[in-house]
Structure 1
Amino acid sequence: MILEVPVFTVEAALIAASAGAHRLELCSDFAEGGTTPSAGMLQFLKSKLDIPIFVMIRPRGGDFVYSNEEIEVMERDIHLLDKLGADGFVFGVLNENAQVDFQKNARLLTAAKRKPCTFHRAFDLTPDPLESLNRIQEIGFQRILSSGGAPTVSEGWEVLLKLISLAADQVIVMPGGGSKPEHASELKSKGMLKEIHASCKSERPSQSIFKKSDMSFSIPEERFHQVLSVNPQLVARFLQVMN
């Protein structure tokens, strides 16, 4: 049973690993829901940590319908980050009708060679989760990150249970999006827990003392003075349930 923690900062990654997370999903830009992180960040973390790091491959925020030029950027990112030690990749491409785009996803899987790939929560935008599950299996992904087609795992719980059951051993359906220790506990009791994705996020105040009252950036001032991190106690609660 694997606990995957998505991380957006070096601090969060180091804390999550120290607290016992089994795998990290490395991303940039929390406000956009995760985009491709820097090469330097991956290289640094691979020099410090010995747990697998899967890397988000997403060239921008917004929808998951990508141009051929964006797909080429994603391929190049995969090649570069592969050389720096990425253990797997996380991406998902949809067509204009929100269906899984077979050809573009296949291109990215080819770029990833044989490293494991996760189809991320773009899955939850598709109109028919069962059809999407079959299509993603057919393309060759190892796992799907999903909240059951709903905003959170709690809201999509019944659909998630059905997807996990239908996927069986063909592909891992990994709950993610507001996951709680209680979700892991229920899945374990049903014999359905393989992997779960939980941010266990927290924020700490910035160490910056000086604040300029007449200056602001594109995010609310209260967020600007917070640093995204991970709550090690919450990681421990998940692990206690899973062990």
Structure 2
Amino acid sequence: MIFKEFCAENMTNLPALNSQKVTRVELCDNLTVGGTTPSYGVIKEAAKLLHEKNISLATLIRPRGGSFVYNDFELKIMEEDILQAVALESDSLVLGLLTEENEVDAAAIDQLLPATQGLPLVFHMAFDHIPRNKQKEALDQLVDLGFVRILLHGSVQKNDILENASWIKELRSYADGRIEIMPGGGVRADNYQEVCRLTGCQAVHGTHII
């Protein structure tokens, strides 16, 4: 069985969803900049609607577009947003924090962990910005930090995702069940099965997967 995660910008498409179409929704705002944290009201109403439909809610925590390097003020914003997302019954949280060298910012993540209150954590497509020769080490770090899933396209250039299938498959093999690898970015209703066939992944993410 293939699990489909629909990437939703606010509430617009949520009423039309059902659990036969999607398993989970990643909720965000401002998809033109790669997504930012949705508002309090959007999270609250989305959680209520999706849970009535037996669909899981993953809330993106990202205070702005641009890089994934955050200062102390932005980390405080993220901490507050995490607390709100948890209180509003999000089922998981999506985070992506990098250092200036494009490595996992473990120190910043550690700072945010108490606010997550044990909710499952997903690493955002920021993972693609980590150099390939350091991605396996980054995967190990994310496992140690307690992340359950990595969302990735396989290339920061955002080329056709099928071109990245062999690398995604290699990462999935390296993960060896310790953390889920979920392809996204260019995954559509007409190619998600091929993406899964070529990568061995059992979950996909996208705005056009249904």
TM-score normalised over the length of structure 1: 0.77
Matched with 2:174 is 166
Q: Does residue 61 in structure 1 map to residue 65 in structure 2?
A: yes
Distance across 2 between alignment mates of 1:199 and 1:191: 20
**Tell me, which stretches of 5 or more residues in structure 2 are unaligned?**
none
RMSD value, Cα: 1.9
State which of 94, 98, 105 in structure 1 corresponds to 2:98. Answer: 94
1:30 is aligned to 2:31: yes
Bigger mean CA offset, 175-184 vs 131-140: 175-184
- What is the CA–CA distance in structure 2 between the aligned matches of 1:108 and 1:156, rounded to whole Å? 31
Q: Is the 8 A contact 1:129 1:149 kept in 2?
A: no
How far is 1:182 from its partner?
Answer: 5.9
| Structure 2 counterpart of 1:76 | 80
In 1, Cα distance between the equivalents of 2:196 and 2:164?
A: 18
Secondary structure at the aligned position of 2:163 is classed as: coil
Q: 2:206 aligns with which of 162, 179, 198?
A: 198
Matches of 1:188 and 1:176 in 2, distance apart? 11
Larger Rg: 1
Which residue of 1 is the match for residue 50 of structure 2?
Answer: 49
C-alpha distance in 2 between matches for 1:188 and 1:75: 34
Which deviates the most, 96-105 or 149-158?
Answer: 149-158
Aligned equivalents of 1:155, 1:188: Cα separation in 2: 13
162-171 or 17-26: which moved more? Answer: 17-26
Aligned counterpart in structure 1 of residue 147 of structure 2, from 122, 141, 153: 141
Q: Distance in 2 between matches of 1:87 and 1:18?
A: 15
User: Do 2:61 and 2:93's aligned partners in 1 also have CA atoms closer than 8 Å?
Assistant: yes
My pick for the range that moved more, 183-192 or 66-75, is 183-192
Moved over 4 A (4+): 187-191
Is the Cα contact below 8 Å between 1:109 and 1:140 reproduced in 2? Answer: no
Aligned length: 202
| Residue deviations 1:92-124 (CA, integer Å, cap 9, x gap) | 110110110111112223311211111011100
Aligned to 2:3: 2
- CA deviations 1:21-63 (Å, max 9, x no partner) are 1100000011111000011011112222221111000000000
1:118-147 deviation line (CA, Å, top 9, x unaligned):
101110001122221112112111000001
1:131 aligns with 2:137: yes
One-letter identity of the residue aligned with 2:173 = S
